[in-house]
Structure 1
């Protein structure tokens, strides 16, 4: 069994966070490629159990400033089209998924989201391998001004929020989330107050809400990401409407 998870880091300020603990809990090991530091990206995801694309402050086609992005998009395209392994894209990673497969991403579009945000879980999530059993609303940490404004034609929309219509999507065995399941409440307390004020947020209120929701965030996203990692270990899932068959997703308790 393949026991490594390939993680692409696009920004030194947007690392894997709690993902490392959740990966270790399943006897998997991370292989982190720090693309922002010039480390070369592999051409495929062969030899790994899953691919995770982390966040970053750039747009998914900002190739001049971030010259590794064409290789990252090609890695993503190859992985998804060949159905090599499950994919999880976080923030920029979700935007890369949408952009690569025909969607649209716009910079500084709409109102920003920063800190703990309420998400609406849509009907399509009811039989999704990662989300089945979630209540109609959950919370997650957000930190973005850019957002996906149009989904690819074959994408399934799974979550939305008041300020951002496209919070979570799925294409085949690839999921993209605009929010940050890997960010803990403790990490939020380290955010610079001046940056929060510049985005129109009260720093004290953002930190207080993160502290209040810390246990809830851990319970919800450790279970959801845990399901993703279980898929990585067990092989191709039986996705709704996909016609694929595979091993059953192992159970996980998803928090309120």
Structure 2
């Protein structure tokens, strides 16, 4: 039997799957990254793939003028939901998942988050396939100004932060969206625009230092969550 295949839509040059891709490969999955930002066509269907991952980027989910591939990416997200194929949406990807399912996303929501941030799991996460039995509070790197302001009907709300309530949610049994970046390691922070961070009230060096201090727990936790997502993909592919 061939390895299950995961389609990964990359929306910006620097926004690749990073360690998430390595973790998925470690679990026996084939990871096909589509660099949509450079004009590479996003597939029209998921027929050749067993799961979908949509990464982050500095766009709204329907920002088709600046990112014309998002229309097809939204179509793939709808297909994943309708077909029960596992999906993971990260930052923009999570916002896109929320929007296609009937939720609301707001540009420049006014409460930006950058750097290592304490994610608080809700009671609903206790029996979730990905988030069960995790620490109640776990760090993850954030980098956003846009935010989900209303979850889709039927979504299970899994996690929150002080500034941004909708940090993680699930739709059905196989689709998850997160606002944070489980794929990002601390050194990525040093590549961000320091002036823009200052405008939002953040110091780049302090953000990096905190992320380094938090990464042992963060990497261990999100590695386990990725393993569980891969398990869902493998089970779905066998089914």
Q: Is the 8 A contact 2:101 2:152 kept in 1?
A: yes
What SS class does the counterpart of residue 189 from structure 1 fall into? Answer: helix
Structure that is richer in helix per residue: 2
The runs of 5 or more residues in structure 1 that have no matched partner are 238-245, 247-256
Rounded to whole Å, the distance in 2 between the matches of 1:165 and 1:10 is 24
What is the Cα deviation at residue 236 of structure 1?
A: 7.7
Q: Residue 77 of structure 1 aligns to a residue in which SS?
A: helix
**With structure 1 as the length reference, what TM-score do the two structures score?**
0.88
Structure 1 runs of 4+ aligned residues shifted over 4 Å read: none
Alpha-carbon separation, structure 1, partners of 2:57 and 2:86: 21
Show the 5 A alignment for 1:188-207: 188-207=189-208
Aligned equivalents of 2:47, 2:128: Cα separation in 1? 25
Alignment of 1:172-187 (within 5 A): 172=172, 173-187=174-188
Q: Offset at 1:117? A: 0.3
Deviation, structure 1 residue 70: 1.1
Deviations along 1:57-106, one digit per CA (max 9) or x if unpaired, are 000011111111111111110121121x2000000000000111111000
Q: Give the aligned partner of residue 159 of structure 1.
A: 159
After superposition, what is the alpha-carbon deviation per residue over 1:100-157, rounded to whole angstroms, capped at 9, x for unaligned?
1111000110310000001110011000000110122111000000000001111111
Post-superposition shift, 1:190? 3.2
State the alpha-carbon separation in 1 of the partners of residues 51 and 79 from structure 2: 13
Residues 1:218 and 2:219 are matched in the alignment? yes
**1:169 counterpart = 2:163:** no
Tell whether the 8 Å contact from 2:120 to 2:136 is kept in structure 1 after alignment: yes
1:43 deviation in Å?
2.0
Q: Which runs of 5+ in 2 are unaligned?
A: none
Q: Secondary structure of the equivalent of 1:18?
A: helix
Say whether the 8 Å CA contact 1:86–1:231 is kept in structure 2.
Answer: yes
- Report if the CA contact (8 A) 1:110-1:163 is conserved: no
Q: What's 2:70 paired with?
A: 69
SS in 2 for 1:213: helix
Residue deviations 1:177-199 (CA, integer Å, cap 9, x gap): 00000001222233342232122
Match of 1:99 in 2: 99
Q: Which residue of 2 aligns with 1:38?
A: 39
User: Take 1:15 and 1:228, find their aligned partners in 2: how far apart are those partners?
Assistant: 18
> Could you tell me the TM-score, scaled by structure 2's length?
0.95
Q: For 2:133 and 2:92, how far apart are their aligned partners in 1?
A: 27
Number of aligned residues: 237
User: Which stretch has the larger CA shift, 28-37 or 154-163?
Assistant: 28-37
**CA distance in structure 1 between the aligned counterparts of 2:164 and 2:144, rounded to whole angstroms:** 10
The equivalences for 1:1-256 within 5 A come to: 1=1, 2-83=3-84, 85-172=85-172, 173-235=174-236
Following the alignment from structure 2 to structure 1, what is the Cα–Cα distance between the partners of residues 147 and 57?
12
SS of residue matched to 2:105: strand
